[in-house]
Amino acid sequence: MSDWTTRVLPEYTRPYGVEEVHDVWFVPNGWPGKGPAVSLIVPECELQFVAIGSDGEPVTLINSPQVNKNVRRWLRYACKIATAHRACLFVACDTADEAERAAKRATKWLPNHQRSALGPSCSARTRPGALPPTYSVSSRACALAGASRSTCPCRLRFGFGN
């Protein structure tokens, strides 16, 4: 186990009926604090990508595979997207062990990114401009991309990459 803290505070996850969630964060070198965001939920392999479109509105793509839930393959794909778009990547896991495995693999696949401390999901009180901690994974991705809460389109689901 590493010295990184991955557990999202339980008071932030309990309102959703979840006792334990572990986040691993990677940001591109020189990242200004907002921009495209990729997230992967493990072990479900739900992949999300959020960016601001040419019209200034957020564009959200969400893939929730019903089959083909190979975590290693989906994590590698998430890293490729993060690299190609110079996007922040965060991986939300059920356990600390899953988070550490994801971090170890992603570190190899993200040569132009650095691991970051827990993101806005855990530090809204201490980070300027951070999201309230009760936002969902999708909403966190939208906010990192620059979407406001009122324009966050995460309720729209688009399939890709099946």
Q: What is the rounded average pLDDT of the residues 92-115? A: 94
Closest by CA to 92, choosing from 162, 18, 161, 25, is: 25
Residue 8 has pLDDT above 50, yes or no: yes
Task: Render pLDDT for 109-156 as a digit per residue (tens, 0 to 9).
Answer: 999 999 987 654 444 344 333 333 333 454 555 555 555 444 444 433
Q: What is the rounded average pLDDT of the residues 7-28? A: 88
> Rounded to whole angstroms, what are the CA distances from 160 to 98, 113, 146, 157?
24, 25, 22, 10
Residue 2 has a pLDDT of 58
Give residue 11's pLDDT band: very low, low, confident or very high (50, 70, 90). Answer: confident
Residue 98 has pLDDT above 90, yes or no: yes
DSSP per residue, 88-139: EEEEEESSHHHHHHHHHHHHHH-TTEEEES--HHHHTTTSTTPPPTT--HHH
Percent of the chain with pLDDT over 70: 70
The more confident residue out of 77 and 162 is 77
Q: What is the rounded average pLDDT of the residues 37-53? A: 93
Residue 100 has a pLDDT of 94
The more confident residue out of 137 and 103 is 103
